Amino acid sequence: MSPWDTSAPIHFGSIFARDVDFVQYAITKKRLLAGLGEAGARQLHFFIAEEGITAAAYVVVSIVGGTWTIEECGDRDPSGARVGAILQALIAREPVERRPTIRAWLPHGFVPPQVRIVSPKPSTDVLIVRSLGSSMIEPRLSGDDVLYWRADVF
């Protein structure tokens, strides 16, 4: 059985679940961006932690120069400990290299125990929301109600 067990989506605690199709789409989109760009300018890495025969956590990282960007990640554990362990292992793979700058947009309250946020700052991107229903209800969303991944931007 593949780690892509479609009956078990990856959850981000109680925030939301990413199913197999969505994760594969996000990876494919970023691979195309890396593959169609200038040779060697951008890399995309996808890492998965398995427990038994199913995926327990994943991380999608794009690399440009010495900067890593976590495009998206997911963990069955609400603390994100597996995501943090994946990042630790990635940094340890190249002990001679200078440690990379890692950037990410993370859900409110999601900080893996192995991660320390050095300089948090709000996103400069604007999100426009429109009701899909027939009634025009003005949405009352706070920053905690919205999660917008880097992988959502092409």
> What pLDDT, on the 0 to 100 scale, is given for residue 130?
62
Q: What is each CA distance from 29 to 104, 128, 130, 143, in whole angstroms?
A: 18, 22, 24, 26
Which residue reads 């917008």 in tokens? 148
pLDDT score for 13: 44
Q: What is the pTM of this model?
A: 0.71
- What distances in angstroms separate CA 35 from CA 29, 65, 127, one per listed residue? 10, 16, 28
What amino acid occupies position 98?
Answer: R
**Which pLDDT score is estimated for 82?**
92
What is the reported pLDDT for 86?
A: 93
Return the closest-CA partner of residue 90 out of 120, 105, 112.
112
pLDDT reported for residue 84 = 92
Query: How large is the C-alpha radius of gyration of the chain?
Result: 17
List, run by run, the mean pLDDT of 10-residue segments along the chain (154 residues): 46 55 81 83 88 85 88 85 91 80 82 86 67 61 64 57
pLDDT score of 98? 78
